[in-house]
Amino acid sequence: MLTKKFDPLKKKMLQILDQDGNIVDKTLEPNIPSELLLKMYRTMSLGKIADIKALQYQRQGRMLTYAPNRGQEAAQVGAMAPLENQDWLVLAFRELNAMLYKGVTLEQFFLYWYGNEAGSRFNDDVKVLPISVPIASQINHGAGLAMASKKLKKNEVVVAYVGDGGTSHGEFHEGLNFASVYDAPLIVIIQNNQWAISTPRLKQSKADTLAQKAIGYGMPGIQVDGNDVLAMYAAVKEAAERARSGEGPTLIEAVTYRLGPHTTSDDPTIYRTDEEVAMWAKRDPMIRFKKYLIDKKIWSDEQEEKLVEELSDYVNTTFKKVEESGLVSLEDVFNYTYEELTPQLKEQYEEYKAYLAKEGK
């Protein structure tokens, strides 16, 4: 059991692929079929390119506020790949790669960040809750999904995300505690990207690791190199098996780094050094995963070049489509507060419509 072998209290962190792309311990290497490895890499590449471009679009004045993901691809795709179709993903707001892997379309993702709620209406068979910002509150939703899954014998596992800042929140505690008390099939992944806007990890908690917080809830916790896609895969696979067999939740701390700003409104040069960023750039999850695939002889620089070109075109085309999507209708603004418009809402809607008609708008 990985959670036994890598005890967070002994400051042991699970790493399988080191930053140079070498296997650290052959016995830990998960047996992932080549096809799946390539699917994971493709998703991460799409996420990476979409993320870089989203930042560019924003700088060009074509996109609103955006929260970049660059550097956190492995902590997301590594966690989604071992899941089954019926499993749930509960988002915070920096999980582009996980969303793509679980079937959210890039068009929907861009639409949301473009300022349109329709981007949060994922396709019916996509079991992903919408992006929502209230920090750590989403863990309770994940615990509730998992509790219902267990009560209704649906055999679903739930993965819920939170950041290192979110571990300070009361609802982090309540969500983990509920999940543990009811042995709910929940996996909580802390994307410890070292910074909560400008507040460093060490100011969030005096605990040596965030994974060790699991001990207080009577559940296993493990610290994982979040930039190592194989380690993430192995840790989540084990946690999902435990959850599915009725043994309850697991807390996973994915040690990673936000290479970009908190959002496009943030200037990280104010609070962190170039040296620090350069050090983490060497630990980029994409570099080591690519090397691993090339070493395995299932990937090449030529294929890489083609893929980047293909995905860049796809991202540009998709974003253009979103740019042409226009404004949200008045009906849509009113229609989703309740199943039916209340008399009050109906009156407000009609008065405003009458005003628009009168003014010829």
Partner 1 sequence: MALINILEAVNKTLEQQMEKDPTVVVLGEDVGYEGGVFRATAGLQQKFGEERSFDTPLAEAGIIGTSIGMAINGLKPVAEIQFSGFMFPAYNQIATHVARYRNRSRGKYHLPMVIRMPYGGGIRALEHHSESLETLFAHIPGLKLVIPSTPYDAKGLLTAAIKDPDPVIFMEPKRIYRAFKQEVPDEEYIVPIGKAKLVKEGKDITVVAWGALVREVEKAIKLVEEDGISVELIDLRTIAPLDRETVIQSVQKTGRFLVVHEAVKSFGPGAELISIVNEKAFLSLEAPPTRLTGFDITVPLPKGEHHFIIDPQRIAYEIRKVVRY
Task: Return residues touching partner 1 (CB under 8 A).
Answer: 88, 90, 117-118, 120-122, 124, 129-130, 132, 134, 137, 139-149, 151-152, 154, 156, 158, 170-171, 174-175, 177-178, 181, 332, 335-339, 342-345
Measured from the CB atom, the residue of 9 and 118 that comes closer to partner 1 is: 118
Minimum CB–partner distance for residue 184 and partner 1 (Å): 9
* Active-site pick, 59, 271, 352, 355: 271
Minimum CB–partner distance for residue 94 and partner 1 (Å): 17
**Per-position DSSP letters for 143-193, written without gaps between them:** HHHHHHHHHTT----EEEEEETGGGGSHHHHHHHHHHHHTT--EEEEEEE-
Minimum CB–partner distance for residue 81 and partner 1 (Å): 23
Minimum CB–partner distance for residue 139 and partner 1 (Å): 8
Which residue in this structure is represented by tokens 């559940």? 219
Rg (CA), the chain: 21
Query: Whole-angstrom Cα distance, residue 323 to residue 111?
Result: 8
Measured from the CB atom, the residue of 132 and 312 that comes closer to partner 1 is: 132
User: Which one-letter DSSP state was computed for residue 128?
Assistant: B
The DSSP bridge pattern shows strands 199-200 and 250-255 to be unpaired
Measured from the CB atom, the residue of 132 and 325 that comes closer to partner 1 is: 132
Listed residue (240, 258, 244, 229) closest to 165, CA to CA: 258
Q: Is the CB of residue 129 less than 8 Å from the CB of residue 89?
A: yes
Q: Hey, how many other C-beta atoms are within 10 angstroms of the C-beta on 289?
A: 26
* Active-site pick, 262, 283, 288, 292: 262
- Is residue 262 flagged as an active site residue? yes
Measured from the CB atom, the residue of 33 and 170 that comes closer to partner 1 is: 170
Minimum CB–partner distance for residue 237 and partner 1 (Å): 23
Distances 323 to 42, 259, 317 between C-alpha atoms, Å: 25, 27, 10
* Active-site pick, 258, 283, 288, 292: 258
Distances 259 to 20, 24, 133, 311 between C-alpha atoms, Å: 18, 24, 20, 21
Measured from the CB atom, the residue of 25 and 340 that comes closer to partner 1 is: 340
Measured from the CB atom, the residue of 19 and 137 that comes closer to partner 1 is: 137
Query: Whole-angstrom Cα distance, residue 56 to residue 62?
Result: 9
- Is residue 271 flagged as an active site residue? yes
Paired tokens of 186 = 């929940």
Minimum CB–partner distance for residue 295 and partner 1 (Å): 42
Paired tokens of 216 = 């207080």
As annotated, the active-site residues are 258, 262, 271
